[in-house]
Amino acid sequence: MTSSTGRSLLELTEGADMRGLAAAGLGCLDRCLPLLAADRNDALRPVWAAVARADAAAWGEALGKALVELDGPPAEPAGAAVRERLAAAPRDWTPEALRAWAADCSATALDAHGRYDTADLSEDLVERCRAGDPAGAGPLLAGELRRQLAVLDAVAHGPTGLRRARELSVEGGRVLRAVVSRRARTA
C-alpha cells in the first residue's frame, strides 16, 4: 500500500520536514492512546498545538505534562510501548532525532494494531508494510498504515495539513478504542 503520491511510508518519512516528522510520530501515539489510558483522549492536544506553532520549547513542556497526565499502569499491555515512545520524543527539533523517533512511533503503532489482528504478528510484516508491501496485513494494521500515509501526505502541504493529521488521529483512536472495548467485553 502506498500513498496517493505513490511513495511508501519509508520514503514519505525520509522526505518529511521537522514539523511533518513531529506530527507523524505524535499522530501514531495519539491513535494508540486507548492502549495507554482509555479515559484520556485529549492528553496530547497541547503537544499538537506546539507542533502547529513549530515551537520546540512548547513541545518539550507539553510532552512533559502529557507524560505526567498519562502516568500509571497502561490500559493494555501494548500501552507500555506507547509510553516509551512518548517519553523518548526528542526535546530538540533536529531532523535526525525527529526522523528516528517518527520511524519508531510508526513501527510501534503498526505493531500494536497488527497484534489486534493476530496474536502472532511477525516483525517482518510491519517492516514490509512500512516499505510499501502490505500483503498479509489484517484490517487494523492496514487501516493504521493508511492513516500513517495520509498523515504524511497531509503534513507535506504545510501547517494547514495539521488539522487533517489531527482528524485522522482522532478517527484512528476511536477505531482502536472500539476494538479494545469489544475485546474486553468478550474476554
Work out the burial of residue 120: count CB atoms within 10 Å of its CB; fewer than 13 is exposed, 13-18 middle, 19 or more buried. Answer: exposed
DSSP 57: H
Query: What's the rounded mean pLDDT across residues 46-69?
Result: 94
Q: How far apart are CA 166 and CA 122, in angstroms?
A: 29
* pLDDT > 90 in the chain, percent: 76
Query: What's the rounded mean pLDDT across residues 12-18?
Result: 94
Q: How far apart are CA 106 and CA 32, in angstroms?
A: 11
pLDDT digits (tens, 9 = 90+) for 144-181: 999 999 999 999 988 889 999 999 999 999 999 999 88
Q: How far apart are CA 69 and CA 33, in angstroms?
A: 12
Q: What is the chain's Cα-based Rg?
A: 15
pLDDT digits (tens, 9 = 90+) for 99-118: 999 999 999 999 999 988 87
Neighbours of 54 (CB within 10 A): 15
The per-residue pLDDT for 119 is 64
Q: Are 110 and 144 within 8 A, CB to CB?
A: yes
Counting other chains too, the contacts that 133-141 makes at CB distance below 8 Å and 24 or more residues apart are 134/1, 137/1, 138/114, 140/113, 140/114, 140/116, 140/175, 140/176, 140/179, 141/110, 141/113, 141/114, 141/117
Among 43, 25, 39, smallest CA distance to 76 is for 39
